[in-house]
Amino acid sequence: MTKVLVTGACGQLGTELTSRLRSIYGVDNVIASDISDPNQEIAEGPFEHINVLDKDAMADTIRKHGITEVYHLAALLSAKAEQNILPAWKLNVDSLLNILELAKEKNLDKIFWPSSIAVFGPDAPSKNTPQNTALNPTTVYGISKMAGEQWCAYYHRNFGVDVRSLRYPGLIGYKSLPGGGTTDYAVDIHYKAIAGEPFSCFLDKGSYLPMMYMDDAIKATIQLMQAEESKIEIRTSYNLSAISFAPEEIAAEIQNHLPDFEIAYEPDYRQKIADSWPDSIDDTPAREQWGWNHDYDLKSMVTDILANLPRQLAKNP
């Protein structure tokens, strides 16, 4: 029987992925964990307070619940990592090594670990960045993800750990808030628009970045984890792509629904991070090897968020 542990379950991706995993495997078979207190939705099923850097505590939780799969999401994102260099490296890399060691020692069935488009730096082609190219990331977060990818491939190659990974673009959803990322503006902008307030964007016009609606990200994650092992040819991390847009384009899309919405551009330190990343990604291997395709474009994503966010805010003000 599949018994899942999700680390970082209270984060933006963790909240939605935990709820989807619970609908697939049953509430009692998905143990959410985080260093923070659980929100209402997460607290509806089993929850453990864990520091992912504490390998013994992780081992105890795996033993106690008979865990077979781990979705290891706990991490510091790009903007926060730039301001907390050593803690970011420790959290992002050492915690992954804890999980990979435990997977090896306890013979876990499968591990999921998120990488990011941040593994690419300015030396990679910025348009339709291919799966295999010069990485040379220039951010702390990107360096930690690049190292993490290599550790995943190492544990698969040398110990047969079935670890699978995706290079997520910026993830945009309305059910939970991101924290500390460079792509977070594309979530925040909807909250301001719904509140009828002007939005100050920390990235400048023309800052194209790869992005994806949360529903697509959840779909890709489940699809990758349920794919036959023989289809997973890439053991570092798969490029994954859906949409690419600049701040003025998502603002214009919002204005199609809310014509009075206003945006101003006040770039800060995050501009440098965005400038080092690709504009768009080529994810041919994911599409060819395990059948990935995305459902949402910019228009359908904005329409869905603006239709659902007011109800979500009424539920969790």
Looking at the Cβ atoms of 7 and 29, the one nearer to ligand AKB is: 7
Candidate list 141, 185, 208, 296, residue with the active-site label: 141
Residue 76 CB, shortest distance to ligand AKB, in Å, is: 9
Q: Burial code of 250-265, b = ≥16 C-beta within 10 A, e = fewer?
A: bbebbeeeeeebebeb
Residue 170 CB, shortest distance to ligand AKB, in Å, is: 5
* C-alpha to C-alpha distance for 123 and 135, rounded to whole angstroms: 7
Q: Which amino acid is present at 302?
A: V
Q: What is residue 188's three-state secondary structure?
A: helix
Q: Is 141 a catalytic residue?
A: yes
- Applying CB under 6 A, which residues contact ligand AKB? 77-78, 116-118, 141, 168, 170, 181-183
Looking at the Cβ atoms of 19 and 144, the one nearer to ligand AKB is: 144
Residue 184 CB, shortest distance to ligand AKB, in Å, is: 6
Looking at the Cβ atoms of 47 and 238, the one nearer to ligand AKB is: 238
Residue 186 CB, shortest distance to ligand AKB, in Å, is: 9
Alpha helices in the chain (DSSP H): 12-25, 55-65, 78-83, 85-89, 95-106, 140-159, 185-195, 214-226, 247-257, 270-276, 284-290, 298-315
Q: Which residue is nearest to ligand AKB (CB)?
A: 181
HSE (CB half, 13 Å, CA atoms) of 314? 5
Looking at the Cβ atoms of 118 and 163, the one nearer to ligand AKB is: 118
With the CA atoms of 11, 13, 15 and 19 taken in that order, what torsion angle do they form, in degrees rounded to the nearest 10?
Answer: -160
Q: Comparing C-alpha atoms, which of 207, 112, 215, 206 is closest to residue 167?
A: 112
Asked whether 254 and 190 are in contact (CB, 8 A), the reply is: yes
Residue 151 CB, shortest distance to ligand AKB, in Å, is: 17
Looking at the Cβ atoms of 101 and 204, the one nearer to ligand AKB is: 204
Instruction: Tell me which residues are annotated as active site.
Output: 141
